[in-house]
Structure formats: C-alpha cells, structure tokens
Structure 1
Amino acid sequence: MKTNQQLLVIGLVCALVSATGPAQASDRVTSGDVTFEKPVKPAPVSPESRTAETKNADKGTAKSDHDYDHCLALVKEDPQAALDYALEWQVSTKQVSLAARHCAALAMSALGRHHNAAILLSEVALAMDNSPEVPKEARAEAYAQVADAWMLANDREKALTAIDQALAFDPQSDYLMTRANIHALAKNWNDVRIDTGKILAELPTDAEALTLRATAYRNLGALDAALEDANRALEIAPHNLTALLERGRIKAAKLDMPGARADWQQVLSFAREMGLTNDPRAVAAQEFLDMGDARTGGTAQ
C-alpha cells in the first residue's frame, strides 16, 4: 500500500483543523471488534486555539499524548500493537482523530483485514476531501490508498472508483499504473494498453509499464508489439523477472519454444541469485518449463 507520509500528514493536519467534517460518512463504521462513531462538526474555535491545535496536529498529537509517527512505526513492527494504540488514541480524544483512524486502517491492512481497512481509509479520504484546506495532492494520495486497500480486498469495482478519484486530483504515473493493474486483474486489456501508453508517453523508460503493456498486447493478439515492449523493458532492466517471464510467454505464443525456455530458465537462474526461489514468477517459470517437458518427455533443469 502507498504510504506517502508527508502528503498524508499535511492532509490530515488540514482536515483536523477544518470546520468541515465528513458529513456524508455513515453513522457508524464497524470493523470487527472496532467501532468508530461518526465525526461531528466541531464548534468554532478562536484563532489562538486553532494555532495551538495545528501545532499539536503537526506533531501527530491532535490534543492527545499520542504520536502519529510512532503509530506508523508500530504498523511495521507489530500491527496488532499499532491497532491497539490507534484505538486507545481515538478513545482518549474528545474529537475524532483522523490520524488515529488512518493508522488503525494501515494496521488492519497489515493484519490482513483488507475490507475493514478499505472502509476506514475511505472515511479518512472523504474527510480530507471535504476539507477545503487539504492540498489536492494529499487528497489524491488518500484515494490511492483506498484503491490499494480495495484491490487487496478483491473489490476491483470500488478500487477503480477510488483510483479514478485520485487521478482526478493528480494525474500522475503512479496512479495510472495502479489503474492499469486494476484493469489487468479484470482482463480489460485495451484499457491496460491505453493507461500504460499514457505513462510511457511521459516516461518511455518505465520498465514496469513496458512489461504490463507487453502483457496487454499479447492478450490482444499483437505479438510483435508485445515482443518489442518486452525486449525494451529488458534492455532497461535485464534482471526484471516479470519482463523475462512475459517475454517467454510471448515467444511461446509466437511458437518460439527454444526462446521461451531460455527466458524461463533465466528467470529461475536470476531468482536463485537473488534468493527468490519461491517467488511466484519463479514458480510460474518452472511450471511453464515442466509443461513443455511433459509434452516432449524431457526433464526440466
């Protein structure tokens, strides 16, 4: 999941001191044993109070003794401890803490509770969206995190809606790549081709985009174009396992089985060198080699 912390901290701070709450949020959001109340519109505050609150929010405290950076660090070290910390943080504050909610959502995702994480991240993004002070780049990053969460929750429709919102705020290549991957999961190959094409128009040496467009071209039957993209990706990143695996598939589709086997063997060789023998790409390469050997009666090496 994307964690552009600087952007999100800016957005969370702005939303925390805004007089606009997430008015469209549901009354309650329940995530297993976790229930958050709908935020209420805060009472007007004086400039002096607003300044003090902003300083606290900058430190991640938001009128509490809790720290946002510490909570994020816990997500990496001990997600359950991070979730407990975020929940205690929320309970200890009189007003809703978007920082606490955001940290709780990331902890849930780390614990595999992707659907619950997506719901909470959606509320955070909506609260930021409803705060005029939040920069558009921070709103975009929030929706991109929502898209990632829905992808992990296997809800491609909601993921696509979220990434479209991110792109509406900031049409950057990372978000286009996310949308291309969502389209790939749905096997919408022409949409994949279009989005990766937009990325490559600005970043012609993006090996990841070249590889994904090669996959799209292969599935669309444009094998020469697919091979050209795969070759280019490997010129840029010779050890890219995804590109090697894909080029092997393209060569197989073009009935160049010796060339395909050479690429798949290279995947296995590089995977061993990098300590990635159990990587899904290495596993797939071995399966392709085994299928070819089963047809010829040979043995994979």
Structure 2
Amino acid sequence: MRQACGITGWQGAGYRGRNLSSAGGSASVRRMVTTPTRLALAALALLLTATPSLAQGQRPAASRQPPPAAAPAPPAQQANNEEYTRCMRQARTQGTEAFEAATAWEGRGGGLQARHCAAVALLTLGQPAEAAIRLERLGTTGQGDAIRVRVELLSQAAQAWLAARMPERAHAVLTQAVKIAPDDADLWIDRGVVLGSARNYWEAIDDLNRAIELAPRRADPLVLRATAYRWVGSLELAEEDLARALTLDPRSVDALLERGIIRRLRNDATQARADWIQVLRLAPDGPAGDAARANLEKLDVKVEPGTGQQPARR
C-alpha cells in the first residue's frame, strides 16, 4: 500500500501486542514489523516463558485481573509447577531436549503444562505452524471455566501463526478469544495488530476503537490507531491520537517515533528530527531506537549506534 502523502520508507513502531507471559495480560512488549523474520523472532521471544496461570495451576474466573493470594499449592502441584518452570527454561535454548522432556512428562501425567512446554519447544525448533496447531488445540479444548488459561493459550497460538506467516489463522484464533473474553482490551489490540499487519487498516481501527473504549487510560492502543490512521491518510486524526497518548505517557518512545513520522509527512523535518533524537535518548538500543536511527539517517543525520548523539564533525 502507498504510504500516506506519498513519502515512503519511514520506519514506525508498527503494531505491538502484549507479553502473554506476564500476569494478567500486562503491557505490550512485542513489536510487530512487516519483515517476516523479525516478526517470527518477536513472537518466539514472547512464548519462551512459563505462563503464570499454568504455573500456578489456577482455574480462574473470567476476570483478567490478578487473582487474590491463594493458599500454598499442595506438594504434588508444587512439584508440577517446578517441573513446568524447568521445562520452559530449557525450551528457550534446547528445543529438542525440552520437547523430549515435555513428551516424557506428559506420559507421567504432566497434562496441560507438559503439552504447553512441548508446543513452545517446537517454536525454538523453528516449527511455528505445528506449535500454533498445538497451542490452538490447548486453548480450544481447555476447561470451560479456565477463562484466563484459554485466552492466554489462544493469544499465544495467534502469535505462533503470525510467526508462521499465516495472519488469517491468527485472526481466526483471536476472534475465538474475543468471544470468550469480549471485555479484554488486550485481545482487541492483538486482533487490531493482526489486521494492521495484513494492511486491513480500517478494520484494525475498528478493533482499536473498542480497545480504547475498554482501556481509555492506556497510551499503546492510541499509538497503534494513530499508525493506522497514518496509513489511510488521516493525518489529523493520527495527530489527535498521538497528542492523547503523549499526555498519558510523555516518555512513550512509540508515540514519539510515530509523531516524528507525521511531522516529516507534514514537511516539518526539524520537529521530526527532534522527536527521533528524543527516542534515541530514551531508548537507544531497542527497536524504537533502531527505527528512529534509520529515519534520522534518511534525513542525512548520521547517528552513532547505541547512542543518541551525532558523531563529532571532522
């Protein structure tokens, strides 16, 4: 699709989903970009951590809020939790060994935790489609009252489908998840991310509208919607969303990065440069810093890697 205002090549934050490994579906850490290899790596990185709901052996109600403190787990459950943590840790770097260990553990009664670890090990082994199939099956056939577990597994399945470059499957899985937990803002953000990655920007905006209704004090869906508005050429609406996002979070590097792009599209190179340099000051080594550095280089400003400083002139 043609970039808004006819200027191509400016790198934005793109779309971000949440870190499903954090309790309660906490803030976004995954950065989705249009490069499939980086997208696959990002999705893989998120899944290589034990899912808290499984580690705690919980069967929570519909609320995605952290549950109240529970009584200590019985010894057998505690042993399973420790096995799960070990298996997931091994899955980060030793996919074959972790898969074999998880399979053996399942044979000893490891249940859902063992099957989840096996699926994650397949991601490490470069088999995201098979991992997605398993994760989707776990999320679809889970206990009816284990809402958080099912939602987390379906969301992880969607990430694995994205890593396998099958966004239509990711969208279908997230649609299932939204039906289970329709008031979960993160699910609407995730589905908006998938739609945006497929360049279905107006549909992405619809999902992000719902996310913003559910979570009006969060900056991240506003930044995502601003990006979508930019792609459909609605720069004024994008600017309004970015102003709101930066009011909520003045240090949001994604909002600053996106605002720099909008300003460049408005032919305000000076203010665009200021935003991107601020991104480098706040987060020089992350994905936002990489994008800001690339954009600055397009403005003929050479920035030293890992810093927000221009090199000394010789």
| Alignment-derived partner of residue 102 in structure 1 | 116
2:176 and 2:131 map into 1 onto residues whose CA distance is: 18
The answer to whether 1:288 aligns with 2:288 is: no
Deviation of 1:111 after TM superposition, in Å, equals: 4.3
1:87 and 1:257 map into 2 onto residues whose CA distance is: 56
Deviation of 1:146 after TM superposition, in Å, equals: 1.1
2:190 and 2:95 map into 1 onto residues whose CA distance is: 25
Give the AA of the match of 1:231: A
| Alignment-derived partner of residue 152 in structure 1 | 163
Deviation of 1:137 after TM superposition, in Å, equals: 3.5
Equivalences for 1:1-301 in 2 at 5 Å? 2-3=20-21, 5-8=51-54, 58-59=77-78, 61=80, 67-76=83-92, 78-90=94-106, 92-93=107-108, 97-128=111-142, 131-132=143-144, 134-171=145-182, 172-272=184-284, 276=285, 279-293=286-300, 301=310
Query: Any idea what the Cα deviations from partners look like across 1:214-253, whole Å, max 9, x if unmatched?
Result: 1011112211111121122122222222111110111112
Give the AA of the match of 1:116: E
2:58 and 2:215 map into 1 onto residues whose CA distance is: 31
Contact 2:119 2:135 (C-alpha < 8 Å) held by counterparts: yes
Greater radius of gyration (CA): 1
Contact 1:121 1:142 (C-alpha < 8 Å) held by counterparts: yes
| Alignment-derived partner of residue 52 in structure 1 | none
Root-mean-square deviation (CA, aligned residues, Å) is: 3.0
Contact 1:214 1:230 (C-alpha < 8 Å) held by counterparts: yes
Query: Any idea what the Cα deviations from partners look like across 1:49-69, whole Å, max 9, x if unmatched?
Result: xxxxxx89845659xxx9334
Query: Any idea what the Cα deviations from partners look like across 1:30-63, whole Å, max 9, x if unmatched?
Result: xxxxxxxxxxxxxxxxxxxxxxxxx89845659x
Give the AA of the match of 1:182: V
Higher relative contact order (CA 8 A, sep 6+): 2
2:148 and 2:240 map into 1 onto residues whose CA distance is: 35
Query: Any idea what the Cα deviations from partners look like across 1:114-158, whole Å, max 9, x if unmatched?
Result: 222112212222331xx55x4334322221121121112221000
Contact 2:138 2:150 (C-alpha < 8 Å) held by counterparts: no
Gaps of 5+ in 2: 1-18, 24-50, 61-73, 304-309
Give the AA of the match of 1:102: H
2:189 and 2:212 map into 1 onto residues whose CA distance is: 10
2:263 and 2:220 map into 1 onto residues whose CA distance is: 19
Percent of aligned positions with the same letter in both sequences? 33
Give the AA of the match of 2:287: P
2:76 and 2:179 map into 1 onto residues whose CA distance is: 27
Change (3 A) 1:219 1:6: same
- Tell me which protein shows more helix as a share of its residues: 1
1:157 and 1:199 map into 2 onto residues whose CA distance is: 20
Change (3 A) 1:286 1:67: closer
Aligned residue pairs total 245
1:247 and 1:231 map into 2 onto residues whose CA distance is: 9
1:75 and 1:13 map into 2 onto residues whose CA distance is: 24
2:175 and 2:96 map into 1 onto residues whose CA distance is: 31
